[in-house]
Structure formats: C-alpha cells, structure tokens
Chains A and B, each alone.
Chain A
Amino acid sequence: MPRIVIDGLEIEVPQETKVIDAAERLGIMIPRFCYLKSLGAVGACRVCAVKFLQGPFKGVQMSCMVDVQDGMVVSTTDDEAVAFRRQVIEWLMLNHPHDCPVCDEGGQCLLQDETVSGGHGIRRYKGSKRTYRNQYLGEFIAHEMNRCIHCYRCSRFYQEYCGYRDLGVMQIADRVYFGRFQNGQLESPFSGNLVDLCPTGVYTDIPARYKVRSWDLDRSPSVCIHCSLGCNTVANARYRTVWRVEGRYNEALGSEFICDRGRFGFGYTNQPSRPRQARVDSRSVALSDALKSAAEKLSRIHAASGPRAIACVGSARNSLETQTMLKSLCDGLGLPAPCFFVNSQTEKAVKRAVASLDERVAVSLNGVAHGDFIVAVGVDPLNEAPMLALAMRQAHRRGALLVILDPRPSFLPAPHVHLGFAPGELNGVLGSLVGKALETGDEGKLPPLHEDFLKSLPLESLFKAPVNHGEELDVVLSALQKSRRPVLVCGSEIVRENTPSLCADLALLMRSAKGQCGLFYVLPGANAFGGALLSGSEESSFMEVVESMEQGCTKALVLVESDPFLQFPHKDRLKRAMEKLELLIVLDHLPSLSAEMSHVFLPTSTLFEVDSTFINQEGRVQWSRAVHEGGIPMEQWTEGNHPPRAHGAIIPGQDFKAAGKVLEEIARNMGASGEVSLSDPRFRPGKGASPLEGAPGDRPGDGMRLIPRESSREPFSAREEYFTFGEDAGDSLELLLVEALFGTEELSAHSPALEKVEPKPHMWMHEQDASMLGFSQDDVIAMDLEGGVVEVRLKVSPSMARGVLVLPRHHRLQWQKFRDISVRVPHDRMRKS
C-alpha cells in the first residue's frame, strides 16, 4: 500500500485512494465542492488544489484527481496552493448572492465555510450578478438557482448515481442552469438528497423552509425506521417539533443517501392527531393512573382466567427495547409468547430468513452494490426498500447484471432483466437458474452434500414456464456462470415461506462453487429481525390469537405499537373479535382504530424522543439517539404565536413514556417475577456485551452485526419441499398484498409531506388477464368479497406475472375485506364498476 506525506504527517492508504481522502484520514479537510466520495471525482470546482512537493507530480494539482503514490510529499498550506484556492473561491463567489441571512442553508453551508476558511471574507466584485428564474420542483425541494456555484453534484447524483432523467444541466458558459425541462415534481424518490449534497442553498428542504436556523436545531444521530434497511440519519428538532431528517454516512451501508420516504416520513411525530393523552374507559387520566389501572385490570384477568387468557402483540416498528420488554413481561407473567407479525405467512418467511443468515453469506447494502450478479427474488426493491434499488444500480454501474424474479411490475432505475413469475413459481425458476448455471462446473469439486443438493435442483422447470423469456434467460445464465461475486436478494412478504431457506441453501451452494456468494434479505419493517428473534419458538400466529378471541379464550389483548387492522385481511371479523374482549390495552403514538377501541390507552414516545435500538434486515444492530423530549409542538400549542403567551411548569403533551418503560411499569405493578432483564443471551453474539447495555460512546458507529458465524440451521435439509407446486391458477387470481413506495408504510402514512405525493390507490393485473376479463387500464374494478365490496382503479402491465392480482395496501383504501391473507380472487367476483 502506498505511503504519502501530507503536511509533514505520513500515512499508508489502500491503492487508488485519492490524495483528498488520504488527507481526510489524517484529519486534514481539504476544501471541496464537486468532490463527494460516493459520486467520485470530476475535478470541476478547482478548490481542492494542493501543492505536490515531491513524487511523480510537481506543483499545484487537484487533490481529488490524484491517486496516492509512493514517495508523494504534499503541502496543503503552501503559499501557492493557498493563493490558488483563495482566488478560486473568490471567482465562485462572484455571482453568489449575499442572502446568507435569509438562506435556509446558512449555518450549515459548505460554501460559507470554505469561503471564510479560504480567506475570502470581503467581496471586491462590484458588478451586477447573473440571475436566473427558479423552477417549481415539487413538494419536497425549493429551488434557488442564483446561489449555484456549478459544482455539478446535483446532476451527477440525479442522473448517474440514481438513474433518473428529469433533472440535469442545461445551457452553456455562465448561463449553466440546473433544473428540469419544465416545472414539476421531481420524479426521483431520492430527490431529497439534493438538499444534503448541494454545497450551498440551491436546493432546500420545503417542510423545514423558513422555520428554523440550523444553529438553533437540536441534532442527533438517528436511524430510519420506514423500512427494514435501517439507513442512518440525523434528526433535527426545535421547539418540540422535528423539522428535518438528513442522511448520515454509514460505511457498512455504503452511502450517506436516504430515500424520500425516510427523509419526509417523520411527520407522524408532530401530527396534531397523534394521541398524547392516556385514557381509561374513554376518560382522560394521567399516565401514571392509566398504568396502575392497566396493571390492575390485567391482574384481575390473570387471576380469574389464568395467564393464557392474555395475549400480547407487538410489531416490526417496535424498538428492540420494547420488544425485549414485551417478551420479558410475557415470560415473567407466564403469558403466551408475544406475536410481532399480523401476517403469519410473512412471519414464517421472516423467521426462516433470520434463522438462515450467517457470516458466511450475509452481505450489507454495500455488499449488494459490489456484487457482479444480483438476482432479487420475490422482492420489489424500489417499493419495499428503496435504497436497495439504488445499491443495485451501483452494482449495475460497476458492470453487474441485475435480475428481478418477481410477479409485480418492476420499476428499477437501472437496466435489468425482469422475470415475471407468480410466487408459487419463484422457487422453481430460481432453483433451475442456479442449477443450470452450475451444472457445467467440474464434477466432484463440491462437497458431497452440496453436490447432492445441486443434483436435486429442477433443471427443467424454468423452461416449462408459460411466459416466454427465452433470450433473456440465456443472457442471465451466461452472466451467472461467469459471475464471481453473485448476490441473492430475497423478499419475505409475497414469497412462499420456504423461499428464504431455499435462497440460503443456494447461496451456500454458489459459495462453495464460486468461493463467494452474498445473501441479502428484505424484511417487513424496521425491527422485523428483532421480532423474529423474540417471538419465541412456539408457533403462535396472530390468526390463532383472533380465533382465541372469537372463542372467548383470550380475554385481554395488549397491543404494543401495533394496529392489526392495517394488516389483517378482514376488518369486520377482527373488530367483532376485539369487541368480545374484556380488556384491550393499547400502547401507541399513532392514531388508530385499535387505539379508539381500547379500554386503556397508554401514549408512547416516538423514535425521536427516546434512545432506541433496531436490528436491520442483515442483523445489524443500530442505535438511535433521542433528539428531543417531545411534547405538543410549540407551533400547535401557541397557535403560531411566538414566543408563547402562556407559561407553566409542565411541558404540555409530555405525559408519555417509551413503550418499553410502560411495559416495565406494568410488569412491576403486577409483581412480575424478578427484575426485567435486558441481557437476554440471544443478544450476546460471541464475546460482546448485549447491544442494549453499555454506554452510547462505546458503540461502533456502523452498528454491530448480530448473526452467528455459521447458522445452526441444517442446510439442504428441506430440499424436498422447495419445488412442490401449488394448485393450478384456474379461473381466479392470486392476491398479493404489497408495499408501495408512498402510501402503504404505517408511519409515513401520517406524514403531511408525503401525503401530497402519494399515488391514488390502485391494483395491478397482467394485461392479458385484464383483457380476458374485459378490463382495461384505469377501469374501476369492484371486487365482491367475503367482507363486502372493494372498489379500486386498475393498472395493467405487460411484464408482470400472469394469474396474480397485485394490491398495494394503501392507507386510503379499505381493502380489508378478504377471508385470509393468502387467497385467490375468483374471476366472477370481479366486475367493472
């Protein structure tokens, strides 16, 4: 590895490290505008000039354009380099308006910092400045082109990094303009990153615009909980309002970018509709009284009907603290193990995924971005885990072939092969794909167990498939044969329950054939991983809880930050069952039907108000710090007046606790056996301490992966069941309830910013299925179901699977009228409305 001396300090860095990055490792921040590690170097802004004193280069050079080589001696403080940088900054500032006092970027503006640090404090230029007309770029981002210094970060990020094509650079010379062809909402769901990466205030965040100055904000490292990836963020709050969420670099995840769902989805924490008042039997009471009442009522049922009459349901949006405490409560009181998933099909898939992950194959998001062949099975990256789509695009940019094996129409901002097969066919197609690709390999090279598994793969099923993918399959097969670093991405929502195990087995097989293979699961929710770890070995599904409520066996239900109505297929059935309960306790910070029905309601804190821990889909434990204590936002409390006209000793709307603390107190009030423990051995992977213990300062910045070196699951043991196919489609369509980018995720559904961009409810059908039924694009289809009629607009696609009905669980659509999650909708139950 080459060594370099920068300002008298020596450092050894990996090959192909830029001088600017080597300096950063030494703690020397060379000024930069166009350079961003994730985007690479272009050498456009000329502000990172340093002087090379010895080595293969001499004189002033751009530090972002030169790779470190042995023998280089560099000075960042040399007079010539300093003068060069000062002049460049002065030129860049010629046309920049002096509007820092009213600019939202002020205080966290790279241009401001570099101008001052570059020694250009006083303007000399007296001429008139170039001005532009701004554009309307949608509901998220305000445009102020006069501030632009033409670094090209935005257009490079937007087009090259993200693959969207509606924002770019126009004009020439000093008229260069960054924007769209015409006014309009930016199409990229990653557009919010422009706010973070613009070195000045051309793009600012609309929800926070004119509301706060950056130096007044409380900031804390946080984690995004709007999908299972757990991208790292910075939360910004002031006056009891969370104003803004920014991306934060995490080396394991490979970028500092986040999607717009994660950036603008935080509104639920500020909403006036957020329930902040504890209630007992519809009376408002103090939280402490409600806690006592909850414990008393639970104890009464515990004594009268026994512990099995109480059911506890958590969710994938619970923090690990909450889930652990819920588990401890159940264990301590002898209750049935808590349930964290409403959809039992998904629960089984998630548990299999969690049991299969181990260090041999697990890869992080950054691992996906570095794969050379990515096949995504039963997952819709852009809609389920948007940053995964971006990681896959980076893999494509490095030369990987992307394959999506999924029944849904596929939207990926990168060229890819989409094989639209129904969920029941995915195992067979994937199995034969891998089987065919490895078949020509050398016999006898694999361990016998692997060899046997390879031989059991169905080589033919791929080609019997009704959809004609002939040419594409040849391309896919040859790419997979050549691949040295394949990555299998596997979903958990619409796949068969054994698909995650199959993917794990195939990953192990490819690993022994190719030396390396990645496995990457996508799970339903920020802490689905924790839920799967803690829901216990006994199979107690939510459906059984419902049946037990219907039979009157379960008399009390505790819902912990969970609203089963959003996921349960039949709303009226669930409502009838819950009405039979003697006691319904709901802990939450979101308004919901469950909360309205509750006998005891206990308000809880959001992510922003308490330190909390989440485990993402690769088993990475990550910590989020509270940014403020919460309470009714000043804006709402003072009705827009500032400063507040009424004063008191108590902060309004702060009578809530973290769900974990609420559970802890209930357990204590009920005299649960012993202290509630957070040091479950499950959370001690190897030698380390439990992630829930220890000071925040001791924790690794990139999180900590909590998976075994080798999974205890026996590989290849269940291969017989992988390739058994279900019943024939017949004259019905298989219902797939799915996630959408905007409009389905529980927390962000309460965000006013996202509400403005979410699409109207719709469902998808293959165009041939639709024409067979006499339907066409944009028809409103009425489905006559067990629980009533669902009316929804139809979209058709030529590339999705035949025989399926894809229905995003839009929060504005009352879709919950199905008998079960896994159902088929007969053709004769659908008509044009």
Chain B
Amino acid sequence: MAYADLLPEEMRKQLIQRIAEGETAREQAIDVMTALQNHFGHMSDQAMLVASELLAMTPLELEELATFYNFIYRQPVGKYVIHVCDSAVCWMHGHESLMDHLLSRLKIRLGETTEDGLFTVLPVCCLGYCDHAPAMLVNRHIHGELTREKIDRILTRLAEEPHLPTGMK
C-alpha cells in the first residue's frame, strides 16, 4: 500500500475497518473520500490514489464519483467553502443579487478562492431549505433567509473566528 502509507496509522486502520464492515467496498467510497478530504483539505490526485488503494477501486471509478458529487473538492479550497443554493425557489428570492454581493465583497468569481485562503464560493443544486430561501451552506452549517446584511455578518464573524478548525468539520 504505497499511497495509503501517507495516512496516520490510526486513521488508516479505522478506514480499512470501516470498508470491511460494508457489504461492498464501493458503498463506502463517498464516506472514505470525505474522511480523506477532511484530513488532506481537498482530494488531490494523491489523495485519490490513497482512496483507490483502500477501496480497491480504480482511480477512474472514484473520479467518476468525486467529480459528480458537489462536496468532494478535487482542487484546493479555502478554509470556508460557501455553497450557495442555485435552485428555483432561491432564484425567486433574490439569489442573483445576493450572489453578486457575496462575490464582489470577497473580490472573487464563482468557483474561486479568496487570496487570503479563507473563502471559496461554489454553487450547489437545491439545499432543500426552500422554506427559508435564499440559502447557503458554509462548512456544513446552513444559513437561510439571507440578506446582504446577514451575509456581511456571517463573513465578518468567520473572518475573525480563529478557533474553527480547517476543512469541513
């Protein structure tokens, strides 16, 4: 296991055991990739090869999943990944102007990361939070009924927050 040796002993054992508990290795693919992503920050090519070894799937088979699924990042992302809901109900509630506000405040385009490495903005298909539209997800925390002011507050708080761990927690 050339690539899997990159992992801490403890984590590798845990993952191997987790895979063994499933009926097939394949069903654990997303979970294993998520765990690796939490560890490495994003799914680099090398991380994909680690997953490939652990799951006995080819890198291509994992790439098929990784590039389909919104929450696996194949490129480096910021400390906070902001998934802005990109669905009909949010569109009806000012999605476009909020997105403009968010991006101009962070001085990036959609899909980019701020220079300080804090924020990445990505679109995501419906978050299922339509009753509180418009909505966005920041490192798995949902924020609804967004306004420009609310977005500003969230961004300021996050930028000042020194305690939050990196990656998706």
**Which A-chain residue is minimally distant from B57 (CB atoms)?**
A165
Give the Cβ gap from A621 to chain B, nearest Cβ, in Å: 42
Rounded to whole angstroms, the CA-CA distance of A165 and B63 in the bound complex is 11
Q: Which of A166-174, A211-219, A430-438, A444-452 lines the interface with chain B?
A: A166-174
Q: Is the CB of B60 within 8 A of A167?
A: yes
Tell yes or no: B115 within 8 A of A by CB.
Answer: no
Q: Contacting A170 at CB < 8 Å: which of B45, B57, B58, B63?
A: B63
Q: Is the CB of A182 within 8 A of B59?
A: yes
Tell yes or no: B149 within 8 A of A by CB.
Answer: no
Q: A180: which B residues are within 8 A, CB to CB?
A: 60
**Which B-chain residue is minimally distant from A187 (CB atoms)?**
B58
**Which A-chain residue is minimally distant from B45 (CB atoms)?**
A182
Give the Cβ gap from B52 to chain A, nearest Cβ, in Å: 9
Rounded to whole angstroms, the CA-CA distance of A166 and B64 in the bound complex is 11
Tell yes or no: A181 within 8 A of B by CB.
Answer: yes
Q: A168: which B residues are within 8 A, CB to CB?
A: 60-61, 63-64
Tell yes or no: B67 within 8 A of A by CB.
Answer: yes
Q: B68: which A residues are within 8 A, CB to CB?
A: 170-172
Rounded to whole angstroms, the CA-CA distance of A177 and B67 in the bound complex is 10
- Chain A residues 136-176 with CB under 8 Å of chain B are 165-172
- Chain B residues 41-74 with CB under 8 Å of chain A are 45, 48, 57-61, 63-64, 67-68
Q: How many positions in chain B have a CB within 8 Å of any CB in the partner chain?
A: 11
Q: Is the CB of A165 within 8 A of B67?
A: no
Q: B64: which A residues are within 8 A, CB to CB?
A: 168-170
Give the Cβ gap from B126 to chain A, nearest Cβ, in Å: 14
Q: Is the CB of A181 within 8 A of B67?
A: no
Q: A182: which B residues are within 8 A, CB to CB?
A: 45, 59
Q: Is the CB of A166 within 8 A of B60?
A: yes
**Which A-chain residue is minimally distant from B58 (CB atoms)?**
A165
Q: A169: which B residues are within 8 A, CB to CB?
A: 64
Q: Is the CB of A165 within 8 A of B45?
A: no
Q: A166: which B residues are within 8 A, CB to CB?
A: 58, 60
Give the Cβ gap from A141 to chain B, nearest Cβ, in Å: 16
Give the Cβ gap from A384 to chain B, nearest Cβ, in Å: 26
Rounded to whole angstroms, the CA-CA distance of A170 and B57 in the bound complex is 15
Q: Is the CB of A171 within 8 A of B60?
A: no
Rounded to whole angstroms, the CA-CA distance of A690 and B140 in the bound complex is 77
Q: B63: which A residues are within 8 A, CB to CB?
A: 168, 170, 181
Give the Cβ gap from B92 to chain A, nearest Cβ, in Å: 21
Rounded to whole angstroms, the CA-CA distance of A180 and B64 in the bound complex is 10
Give the Cβ gap from B122 to chain A, nearest Cβ, in Å: 13
Known: A181-B48, A182-B45. A170 touches B67 (CB 8 A): yes
Q: Is the CB of A171 within 8 A of B67?
A: yes
Q: Contacting B59 at CB < 8 Å: which of A171, A172, A177, A181?
A: A181
Q: B48: which A residues are within 8 A, CB to CB?
A: 181
Rounded to whole angstroms, the CA-CA distance of A324 and B68 in the bound complex is 60
Give the Cβ gap from B65 to chain A, nearest Cβ, in Å: 9
Dominant SS at the A interface?
loop
**Which A-chain residue is minimally distant from B66 (CB atoms)?**
A170
Q: B61: which A residues are within 8 A, CB to CB?
A: 165, 168
Rounded to whole angstroms, the CA-CA distance of A166 and B61 in the bound complex is 7
Rounded to whole angstroms, the CA-CA distance of A172 and B58 in the bound complex is 19
Give the Cβ gap from B15 to chain A, nearest Cβ, in Å: 20
Q: A167: which B residues are within 8 A, CB to CB?
A: 60
**Which B-chain residue is minimally distant from A180 (CB atoms)?**
B60
Rounded to whole angstroms, the CA-CA distance of A593 and B57 in the bound complex is 47
Q: A172: which B residues are within 8 A, CB to CB?
A: 67-68
Over the window 27-50 of chain B, the binary record of Cβ atoms lying under 8 Å from chain A Cβ atoms (1 yes, 0 no) is: 000000000000000000100100
Rounded to whole angstroms, the CA-CA distance of A168 and B67 in the bound complex is 12
Give the Cβ gap from A155 to chain B, nearest Cβ, in Å: 9
**Which B-chain residue is minimally distant from A164 (CB atoms)?**
B58
Q: A181: which B residues are within 8 A, CB to CB?
A: 48, 58-60, 63
Rounded to whole angstroms, the CA-CA distance of A169 and B62 in the bound complex is 11
Give the Cβ gap from B49 to chain A, nearest Cβ, in Å: 9
Rounded to whole angstroms, the CA-CA distance of A171 and B74 in the bound complex is 11
Rounded to whole angstroms, the CA-CA distance of A165 and B55 in the bound complex is 14
Q: B57: which A residues are within 8 A, CB to CB?
A: 165
- Chain A residues 631-682 with CB under 8 Å of chain B are none
Over the window 248-265 of chain A, the binary record of Cβ atoms lying under 8 Å from chain B Cβ atoms (1 yes, 0 no) is: 000000000000000000
Rounded to whole angstroms, the CA-CA distance of A166 and B57 in the bound complex is 10
Q: A165: which B residues are within 8 A, CB to CB?
A: 57-58, 60-61
Q: B58: which A residues are within 8 A, CB to CB?
A: 165-166, 181
Rounded to whole angstroms, the CA-CA distance of A168 and B63 in the bound complex is 9
**Which B-chain residue is minimally distant from A166 (CB atoms)?**
B60
**Which B-chain residue is minimally distant from A158 (CB atoms)?**
B60
Give the Cβ gap from B1 to chain A, nearest Cβ, in Å: 17
Rounded to whole angstroms, the CA-CA distance of A170 and B61 in the bound complex is 9
Rounded to whole angstroms, the CA-CA distance of A459 and B68 in the bound complex is 54
Q: B45: which A residues are within 8 A, CB to CB?
A: 182
Give the Cβ gap from A44 to chain B, nearest Cβ, in Å: 16
**Which B-chain residue is minimally distant from A170 (CB atoms)?**
B67
Rounded to whole angstroms, the CA-CA distance of A180 and B59 in the bound complex is 9
Give the Cβ gap from A130 to chain B, nearest Cβ, in Å: 15
Rounded to whole angstroms, the CA-CA distance of A651 and B45 in the bound complex is 56
- Chain A residues 177-200 with CB under 8 Å of chain B are 177, 180-182
**Which A-chain residue is minimally distant from B62 (CB atoms)?**
A181
- Chain B residues 90-145 with CB under 8 Å of chain A are none
Give the Cβ gap from A163 to chain B, nearest Cβ, in Å: 12
Give the Cβ gap from A612 to chain B, nearest Cβ, in Å: 41
Rounded to whole angstroms, the CA-CA distance of A625 and B23 in the bound complex is 53
**Which A-chain residue is minimally distant from B70 (CB atoms)?**
A172
Rounded to whole angstroms, the CA-CA distance of A166 and B58 in the bound complex is 7
Rounded to whole angstroms, the CA-CA distance of A61 and B67 in the bound complex is 32
Give the Cβ gap from B67 to chain A, nearest Cβ, in Å: 4
Over the window 453-466 of chain A, the binary record of Cβ atoms lying under 8 Å from chain B Cβ atoms (1 yes, 0 no) is: 00000000000000
**Which A-chain residue is minimally distant from B61 (CB atoms)?**
A165
Rounded to whole angstroms, the CA-CA distance of A532 and B125 in the bound complex is 66
**Which A-chain residue is minimally distant from B68 (CB atoms)?**
A172
Rounded to whole angstroms, the CA-CA distance of A711 and B63 in the bound complex is 54
Q: B59: which A residues are within 8 A, CB to CB?
A: 181-182
Rounded to whole angstroms, the CA-CA distance of A172 and B59 in the bound complex is 17
Give the Cβ gap from A461 to chain B, nearest Cβ, in Å: 35
**In this complex, which of A170, A177, A181 has the most chain B Cβ atoms within 10 angstroms of its Cβ?**
A181
Give the Cβ gap from A4 to chain B, nearest Cβ, in Å: 38
Give the Cβ gap from B59 to chain A, nearest Cβ, in Å: 4
Rounded to whole angstroms, the CA-CA distance of A618 and B99 in the bound complex is 68
Rounded to whole angstroms, the CA-CA distance of A434 and B61 in the bound complex is 39
Rounded to whole angstroms, the CA-CA distance of A165 and B67 in the bound complex is 16
Give the Cβ gap from A691 to chain B, nearest Cβ, in Å: 46
Q: B60: which A residues are within 8 A, CB to CB?
A: 165-168, 170, 180-181
Over the window 140-157 of chain B, the binary record of Cβ atoms lying under 8 Å from chain A Cβ atoms (1 yes, 0 no) is: 000000000000000000
Rounded to whole angstroms, the CA-CA distance of A383 and B64 in the bound complex is 30
Give the Cβ gap from B88 to chain A, nearest Cβ, in Å: 16
Rounded to whole angstroms, the CA-CA distance of A171 and B64 in the bound complex is 7
Rounded to whole angstroms, the CA-CA distance of A169 and B57 in the bound complex is 15
Rounded to whole angstroms, the CA-CA distance of A167 and B64 in the bound complex is 10
Give the Cβ gap from A786 to chain B, nearest Cβ, in Å: 43
**Which B-chain residue is minimally distant from A172 (CB atoms)?**
B68
Q: A171: which B residues are within 8 A, CB to CB?
A: 67-68
Rounded to whole angstroms, the CA-CA distance of A167 and B60 in the bound complex is 7
Give the Cβ gap from A434 to chain B, nearest Cβ, in Å: 33
Rounded to whole angstroms, the CA-CA distance of A166 and B59 in the bound complex is 8
Rounded to whole angstroms, the CA-CA distance of A168 and B57 in the bound complex is 13
Rounded to whole angstroms, the CA-CA distance of A182 and B63 in the bound complex is 10
Rounded to whole angstroms, the CA-CA distance of A177 and B58 in the bound complex is 17
4 nearest interchain CB pairs? A181-B59, A165-B58, A181-B60, A170-B67
A165-B60, A166-B58, A181-B58 known, 4 other contacts, Cβ within 8 Å: A168-B60, A168-B64, A170-B60, A172-B67
- Pick 18 A–B contacts, CB within 8 A, sort by A: A165-B57, A165-B60, A165-B61, A166-B60, A167-B60, A168-B60, A168-B63, A168-B64, A170-B60, A170-B63, A170-B68, A171-B67, A172-B67, A172-B68, A181-B48, A181-B58, A181-B59, A182-B59
Taking beta carbons and an 8 Å cutoff, which residues of B are in contact with A? 45, 48, 57-61, 63-64, 67-68
